[in-house]
Amino acid sequence: MRTDTQTITRLEDYRPTDYLIDTVELDIQLDPAATRIRSVLQIRPNPLGVKAVPLVLDGDELMFRGLWIDDEPASADVYEATPQGLTIAHPPGRPFRLTIDTEVNPSANTKLMGLYRSNGVYCTQCEADGFRRISYLLDRPDVLSVYTTRIEASRDEAPVLLGNGNLRERGEAEAAGRHFAVWHDPHPKPAYLFAVVGGNLARTGKTFRTMSGRAVEIAIYVEPGKEERSHYALDALERSMRWDERVFGREYDLDVFNVVAVSDFNMGAMENKGLNIFNDKYVLASPETATDADYANIEAVIAHEYFHNWTGNRITCRDWFQLCLKEGLTVFRDQEFSSDERSRAVHRIGEVRTLRARQFTEDAGPLAHPVRPTRYREINNFYTATVYEKGAEIVRMLKVLLGEAEFARGMDLYFERCDGTAATVEDFLGCFAEVSGRDLRHFQRWYEQAGTPTVSVQTAYDPVARTYRMEFRQETPPTPGQPEKSPLVVPVLLGLVGEDGQLLEASSNKVREDGLFVLETKAESITFEGIDSRPVPSLLRGFSAPVRLELDLPDSDLLALLRHDRDPFNRWQSAQTVALRLLTSLAEAPANGSSAELADAIGTFLDRSGLEDPAFAAMILALPGETEIAQEIGRDVDPDAVHAARQRVKAELGRSLAPRLRDLRAAMRGSGAYSPDAASAGRRALGNAALDLIAAGDPGEGERLAAAQLEQATNMTDRLAALATLSLIPGQTREAALTRFGDSYAAEPLVLDKWFALQAAIPEEGTPGRVRALMTHPAFAYSNPNRVRSLIGSFAMANPTQFHREDGTGYALLAETVLALNGTNPQIAARLLTSFGTWRTVTAARRAQARSALEHIAAAPALSPDVLDIVQRSLAPA
Ligand code: TRP
Ligand code: ZN
């Protein structure tokens, strides 16, 4: 393997820049192949920096075209310009103006970082370090500048010209057929929040009145003809703005807020100041093309990017190690928003399911890292579930520990004190320490220590002494670079549940009024006094900490919690735990257990409360996923055995619950026009969960029902659910349905993505061949991240039996794709490669295959820093 030539960036090496850039004035002459950029920087020595040192500006694949210092042409011996940087050895020791001309080719930019074209629309992506692909700059988050941007383009090609901030001026340009717009953003910002857009786009908008009465023009821009599909996003934006005013007291701070949807985008969306740019799948929605899940995602991503305006933009990050400061906090905020807009309990279950599937998996593998990492080779590889999802969990724990009121005061202080700064995790925690008078240094360990802690609980009831005792222990496994772990501050919300489901009036001096027990040491116990009969403990209510919980309770206790715990999260969790125990033991030996008791309990649940909250009932019907079962088994996992165990339990549940499931399906049948609201979506979710189980129990009936639903469905949610059910039943009906679906939506890329994803997830021998065939489908393109993610990403992430095939063909398919994308879009290549993260947990034969696929990648020529970083960490000795 090659020796490591990449530079490592370390948190402890942080120091401020030696120069500051107060203003950036850009003049961008948009052209498909030769865009010229003039950048005028007002620079001065940083009082905190070193005097009289060279000025080194970042660049990446830039064509240098000229340089002026204080408007005088600079002679060639004054500077050194390469595509990767611009150095001025002896800059003036006082404020000066630096003018730089560069040229870039947006049409050739396949990395989708910097300035590129998507479907003929010019757009930019600058986070984390894409600005340097537009012009030379101190491209780091602690350099804040006021930007003024003049954009000029052909009026035919780009009638719409958008930038950050407020529109200052627009008009005809000198050159024939060209026009211009000047945008000015008064809020100092780092370069990663810069954006421009130019193209032929259709606008839908309205006026938003802020809480202080200011008018803000809010708008969504989409491909002409798709305006109808932007209304939901506009509505979600308005609701987000209102919610941030009401819940966090945050008011919007410009005259306009624009959202632009583009079809080629590396991630979900980007919070550029006043000009959010979105992957179109998180904007466009119509009942015909989008599922309920799509609507929910659009709402969440619109909210997320809007909320960044305060958590990320007004208060930004000092350095990229602090990424969780904006991402974890903003995910927390968007989760709270969605919970308020929808059902809090159902939303929480969804959050925990993704946390376990994505973040716990990451934490258990070679790519595990702390929420605030201390070193990186490629920052783009740290936009992870750990930074985002676990980062949000830390904020949630802080809220539980401090309580609502103190948490709110801490947030207020943070907004007040850190506004306009590039802040750190310490600055954030400092505000909460100050308002609460607490020492949060121990709590801060959550940011520093990787790995998922296990909390195990032993319980004992003493009928004579009438006491109930719980012994807690915590343990965090080693992760790369962190062999030894210390105890964390774990907030455990708990209650003792009596026969009827009421909480017992039990007290212990270690448990707060609201049921909070804080485990801060390796082991600690609590004793409750005056307990008349053996209670059932409900632990980690609402999933109060991102830990794995090991309980010594018998299934019967857990099923009692399913019946009547008042905490809906734990009702769901209890059933999941029972199912998970059964599934892991069946995966180890097929004779090891029966689903009868679980089926019985779920049946009783459906009879009593199946109709109360359909979305919740749908969650109860869903068994833990194969990823979660594999995670529970931990090592030498045989994905085929896991799949077989899960299939079998699904089939048994389907058979024993069949009459009830049929009734439920009938009861959930919608009438009237489609509405994406949470209650209607919940009914569809339950109806479709029932269909899925019926089909598992009786594929013949399932095939008939699904085919009929496919015919009659009036919306994409029901249509896709039917197709998903059919996709698991081999035969002519399935193949014909797939073909027809593909033909009907040939002109709808976002719908074809679902069709690609569904086929790539079929757990059958033939799937790798099917995926290869689909790679030649006219709609598939390596250049489009959504297509690659739906087809290849889904194969690697949602099809464990085929990805982890013992013959290695699944791994080979992935390796091939990673290498094909390595040169053109390294970010996407590296992200796909992370699907090898579980390779050490599978059986020896599979491990050997995975290792050779990884080594094949590692040995390839010209690996991008992104792919090199992931492949090396994946192969590093455990
Ligand atoms: N900051 C964005 C968000 O979480 C995500 C983001 C980071 C991104 N880097 C990106 C988006 C690169 C697109 C491309 O909201
Ligand atoms: Zn974000």
Ligand 1 atom closest to Cα of residue 271: 15
Classify 288 as helix, strand or coil. coil
Q: Is 327 in the pocket of ligand 1 (CB under 6 A)?
A: yes
**pLDDT for the residue numbered 541:** 98
Q: Going by CA atoms, what residue is nearest to atom 5 of ligand 1?
A: 270
- State how far the Cα of 619 lies from the Cα of 606, in Å rounded to an integer: 12
Domain parsing of the chain, residue ranges? 1-198, 316-448, 454-545, 554-697
pTM: 0.98
Shortest-distance Cα residue to atom 9 of ligand 1: 127
- Sheet of strand 215-222: strand arrangement: 202-209, 215-222, 256-262, 275-279, 269-270
How many angstroms does the Cα of residue 416 sit away from the middle of ligand 2?
21
Beta carbon of 270 within 6 Å of any ligand 1 atom? yes
Mean pLDDT value across residues 139-161: 99
Chain-centroid distance, C-alpha 539: 27
- DSSP classification of residue 284: -
**Ligand 1 mutation pick, 112, 266, 828, max ligand atoms within 8 A of CB:** 266
User: Does residue 305 line the site of ligand 1, with CB under 6 A?
Assistant: yes
80 is annotated as an active-site residue: no
- Is the CB of residue 779 below 6 angstroms from any atom belonging to ligand 1? no
Whose atoms come closest to the Cα of 329: which ligand?
Answer: 2
Which residue's CA is minimally distant from atom 7 of ligand 1? 127
pLDDT tops 70 at residue 808: yes
pLDDT of residue 159 exceeding 90, the answer is yes
What is the average per-residue pLDDT within 287-299? 98
- Asked whether 58 lines ligand 1 (CB < 6 A), one says no
Q: Is the peptide bond before 128 cis (omega within 30 degrees of 0)?
A: yes
Q: How far is the CA of 330 from the centre of ligand 2 (A)?
A: 6
Which residue in this structure is represented by tokens 């988050």? 141
Q: Is the CB of 278 under 6 A from ligand 1?
A: no
Q: How far is the CA of 87 from the centre of ligand 1 (A)?
A: 29
Residue 225, helix vs strand vs coil: coil
**What is the tens place of the pLDDT at every residue in 442-473?**
999 999 999 999 999 999 999 999 999 999 99
Q: Which atom of ligand 1 is nearest to the CA of 301?
A: 15
Closest-CA residue, ligand 1 atom 11, reads 267
> Closest ligand 1 atom, CA of 130?
12
Tell me which residue of 268, 496, 493, 220 sits closest to 388, measured CA to CA: 268
Of the pLDDT bands very low, low, confident and very high (cuts 50, 70, 90), residue 505 is: confident
Neighbours of 799 (CB within 10 A): 25
At residue 1 the predicted structure's pLDDT band, cuts being 50, 70 and 90, is very low
| Residue 485 CA, ligand 1 centroid: distance in Å | 31
Atom nearest to 308 CA in ligand 1: 15
557 within ligand 1 shell (Cβ under 6 A)? no
Count other Cβ atoms within 10 Å, centred on residue 822. 22
Measured from the Cβ of residue 413, the count of other Cβ atoms closer than 10 Å reads 15
Specify the residue for token string 């006491």.
467
266 in ligand 1 pocket by Cβ < 6 Å?
yes
Residue 502 to residue 391: CA distance in whole angstroms: 33
Those residues with Cβ within 8 angstroms of residue 317's Cβ, 6 or more apart along the chain or in another chain = 141, 142, 323, 325, 326, 422, 423, 424
Residue nearest to atom 2 of ligand 1 (CA): 270
Is residue 3 very low, low, confident or very high in pLDDT (cuts 50, 70, 90)?
A: very low
Report the share of the chain in percent with pLDDT over 90. 97
Ligand 2 center–CA 379 separation, angstroms: 14
Angle at 15 between CA 12 and CA 17, to 5 degrees: 155
Tell me which architecture the domain covering 1-198 has in CATH. Sandwich (2.60)
Q: Which of 270, 786, 827 to mutate to test the pocket of ligand 1 (most atoms within 8 A of CB)?
A: 270
Ligand 1: does its nearest atom lie under 6 Å from the Cβ of 124?
Answer: no
pLDDT, position 5: 55
Tokens of 414: 């943070």
Task: Name the residue with the closest Cα to ligand 1, atom 10.
Answer: 127
454-545 fold: Immunoglobulin-like (2.60.40)
CATH 3.40.50.300, domain 316-448, yes or no: no
CA distance 211 to 29: 38
Point out the ligand nearest to the CA of residue 332. Answer: 2
pLDDT score for 140: 98
Nearest CA to ligand 1 atom 1: 270
Measured distance CA(588)–CA(566) in Å, rounded: 34
* Whether the domain at 454-545 and the domain at 554-697 fall into the same CATH topology: no
Atom of ligand 1 lying closest to residue 128 CA: 9
Distance CA 42, CA 145 (A): 9
In the predicted model, what is the mean pLDDT of residues 220-246? 98
The whole-angstrom separation of Cα 70 and Cα 68 is: 6
Å from CA of 271 to ligand 1 middle: 8
Catalytic, out of 127, 305, 336, 652: 305
Residue of the CA atom closest to atom 3 of ligand 1: 270
Q: What is the largest CA-CA distance in the chain?
A: 95
User: Residues near 729 by Cβ (< 8 Å), separated by ≥ 6?
Assistant: 695, 699, 702, 703, 706
Please, are residues 367 and 834 in contact by the beta-carbon 8 Å criterion? yes
The alpha carbon of 334 and the centre of ligand 2 are apart by a number of angstroms equal to 10
Which ligand 1 atom is at minimum distance from the Cα of 125? 14
Q: Ligand 1: which of 112, 116, 193, 267 to mutate, judged by most atoms within 8 Å of the beta carbon?
A: 267
Return the pLDDT at 849.
99
> Ligand 1: distance of its center to the CA of 127 in Å?
6
**Residue 389 in contact with ligand 1 by CB distance below 6 A:** no
Nearest CA, atom 15, ligand 1: 270
Q: Is 125 a pocket residue for ligand 1 (Cβ < 6 Å)?
A: yes
Contacts of 518 (CB under 8 A, 6+ apart): 401, 489, 490, 491, 492
Which H, E and C letters describe 162-213, residue by residue? Answer: EECCEEEEEEECCCCCEEEEEEEEEEEECHHHCCEEEECCEEEEEEEECCCC
Looking at the CA of 192, name the nearest ligand: 1
Mutate to test the pocket of ligand 1, among 127, 132, 381 (most ligand atoms within 8 A of CB): 127
Q: Is 825 in the pocket of ligand 1 (CB under 6 A)?
A: no
Alpha helices in 419-496 (DSSP H): 425-436, 445-448
Any alpha helices (H) in 182-308, and if so which ranges? Answer: 231-248, 292-307
Residue 411 φ then ψ, to 5°: -65, -45
pLDDT at 670: 83
Which ligand neighbours the alpha carbon of 116 most closely? 1
What is the pLDDT of the chain when averaged over all its residues?
Answer: 97
What is the 681 CA–ligand 2 centroid distance (Å)?
26
The fourth-level CATH superfamily of domain 554-697 is Peptidase M1, alanyl aminopeptidase, C-terminal domain (1.25.50.10)
Q: Is 565 in the pocket of ligand 1 (CB under 6 A)?
A: no
